[in-house]
Structure 1
């Protein structure tokens, strides 16, 4: 029962934080395509890790992460206004590189497949 509740809270936080990033943040440092991949809220609702994927160059990723980390307080306040929870979790943004890693693995597999066809 508790796991189901935590999953629902994670999904709701993910959805709302994604909406806040795309519609309410006006920081010019946020560039590229920012996607919220996952939200992990602790059981006591005190902390939330928000995993984001950024499709951009390395410098732009660093600038975007810096902007997101500086906007964490704003995101927390907006989240508190949108979601009715006893505690509004403290937001921590984490860069998720799993999408880029899977693209890299796919390219390697295609290269191996093409090399195998040539033999």
Structure 2
């Protein structure tokens, strides 16, 4: 996987980006966003930013569009806050594993409910 340096950079970027998205970006399309992970490439040229967005497909897409639009601003901010020679290019991706996890929880709850009803 990543080495210690890229992991450390990823963590820093994750922390700073979370604050920037919550406090600095005033785009109404950005809903409730959680950055779940940041994977920085070995040469630090790219950072995949995995996000979890509360809401439906449309809200997720709107949030992605808004984040893409604010990318330049975020890079500048990260450049100021995180000491790197080159600020990586951000690629925002919906973290499907989070959606997947909550979907499974919902299904398990439903299954357990059905089971309980059958046993009565």
TM norm. shorter chain > 0.5: yes
- Separation (CA, whole Å) in 1 of partners of 2:113 and 2:56: 28
Residue in structure 1 matched with residue 10 of structure 2 by the alignment: 10
| Cα distance change, pair 29–115 in 1 and its aligned pair in 2 (3 A) | closer
Instruction: Please list the CA deviations of residues 21-68 of structure 1 after superposition, one character each: whole Å capped at 9, or x if unmatched.
Output: 11111112212x100010011111111110111002222221111000
- Partner-residue secondary structure (3-state), 1:37: strand
- Separation (CA, whole Å) in 2 of partners of 1:30 and 1:108: 28
1:69 to 2:68 alignment: yes
Q: Normalising to structure 1: TM-score of the pair?
A: 0.89
The CA RMSD measured in Å over matched residues stands at: 1.5
Q: What are the ranges of 5 or more consecutive residues in structure 2 without an aligned counterpart?
A: none
- Separation (CA, whole Å) in 1 of partners of 2:8 and 2:15: 11
- Partner-residue secondary structure (3-state), 1:75: helix
Paired residues, number = 117
Q: How much does 1:101 deviate?
A: 1.6
Q: What are the ranges of 5 or more consecutive residues in structure 1 without an aligned counterpart?
A: none
